[in-house]
């Protein structure tokens, strides 16, 4: 497994596990939004109404998914940047169990031989902090970036206009550097007031529409609020939770873009002579 972690620095300030304590500055919670107020549940931030998880075998149906592209295209090198906060970094799970690591494993099992998923999640990250490290993370020259950010800002009750402006800045920077962006939608618990919660959730589809992005509607769908799929903090997914996120939430959006991009790369790599020869043989 070749899975890099590009967290620029990690200090106690950014330790996500600490965030649950006295300050209430928890990053990206994973509880579902209750129909009625529930007891014995820690207050979290990246939450919403969620559905029951779909049971997924980690390697189910992976070998049947490459029929649409040929062996040459599958061999093209591809770099995917996983960019975000502790949900991306995988706080509390082994390095091979976070979503970037599992995603790379799944893609290779599906036949994408030269794909690399680079983990650039940083615990405690806000949209402002992410914007400030964009020049550094884009040195990886990602072909595709999965961007999941903003819940820390919302948990602190920061101005929605600032959150949206930062996400737009990040998307534009990544696009200007040649990366296709897939935006991970986020939703938060309604302890900040219904208007704030709804306005925050609306940021992501609006940006996706305005900037022509593919979008994961809710990154934690089927995992948030499911106790057996989250760690003891009720915030961060377990290995099994990340498996569901990868298979059910990320891959259905990512795979068509990977296929399209690899076919395009393969076609563009042919010289005029090679193109002519290929056409003649056909």
Per residue in 75-99, pLDDT (tens digit) is 889 999 999 999 999 999 999 999 9
Q: How far apart are CA 74 and CA 238, in angstroms?
A: 30
Residue 276 annotated as catalytic: no
pLDDT, the chain, mean: 79
Instruction: Count the residues in the chain.
Output: 282
Candidates 28, 86, 127, 179; catalytic one: 86
Residue 272 has pLDDT above 70, yes or no: no
Lowest mean pLDDT among 48-62, 78-92, 134-148: 48-62
DSSP assignment, residue 48? Answer: B
Residue 259 annotated as catalytic: no
Element (H, E) at 204: helix 194-210
Residue 233 annotated as catalytic: yes
Residue 61: both structure tokens together: 């149906």
Q: How far apart are CA 143 and CA 107, in angstroms?
A: 15
Give the SS3 label for residue 52. Answer: coil
Candidates 85, 123, 127, 236; catalytic one: 236
Confidence of residue 186 (pLDDT cuts 50, 70, 90): very high
CA distances from 80 to 20, 45, 115, 183, 262 (A): 30, 27, 7, 13, 12
Note whether 136 and 129 are within 8 A (CB). no
Q: How far apart are CA 211 and CA 215, in angstroms?
A: 11
Residue identified by tokens 């794909």 is 115
Mean of pLDDT values over 171-198? 92
Mean of pLDDT values over 193-202? 93
Candidates 97, 190, 233, 259; catalytic one: 233
Q: How far apart are CA 165 and CA 186, in angstroms?
A: 16
């Amino acid at each position: 497994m070749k899975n890099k972690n590009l967290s620029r620095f990690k200090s106690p300030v950014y330790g996500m596990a600490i965030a649950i304590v006295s300050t209430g500055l928890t990053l990206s919670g994973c509880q579902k939004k209750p129909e009625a107020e529930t007891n014995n549940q820690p207050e979290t931030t990246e939450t919403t109404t969620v559905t029951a998880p779909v049971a997924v075998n980690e390697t189910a149906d992976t070998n049947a998914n490459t029929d649409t592209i040929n062996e040459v295209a599958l061999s093209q090198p591809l770099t995917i940047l996983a960019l975000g906060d502790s949900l991306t970094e995988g706080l509390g799970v082994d390095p091979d169990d976070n979503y970037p690591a599992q995603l790379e494993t799944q893609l290779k099992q599906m036949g994408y031989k030269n794909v690399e998923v680079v983990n650039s999640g940083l615990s405690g990250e806000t949209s402002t902090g992410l914007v400030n490290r964009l020049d550094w993370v884009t040195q990886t020259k990602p072909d595709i970036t999965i961007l999941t950010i903003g819940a820390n800002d919302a948990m602190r009750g920061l101005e929605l206009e600032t959150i949206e402006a930062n996400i737009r800045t990040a998307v534009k920077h990544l696009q200007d550097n040649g990366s296709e962006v897939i935006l991970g939608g986020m939703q938060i618990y309604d302890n900040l007031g219904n208007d704030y919660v709804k306005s925050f959730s609306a940021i992501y589809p609006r940006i996706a529409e305005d900037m022509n992005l593919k979008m994961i509607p809710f990154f934690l769908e089927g995992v948030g609020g499911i106790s057996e799929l989250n760690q003891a903090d009720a915030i961060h997914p377990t290995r099994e939770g990340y498996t569901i996120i990868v298979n059910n939430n990320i891959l259905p959006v990512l795979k068509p873009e990977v296929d399209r991009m690899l076919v395009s790369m393969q076609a563009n790599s042919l010289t005029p002579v090679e193109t002519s020869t290929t056409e003649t043989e056909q």
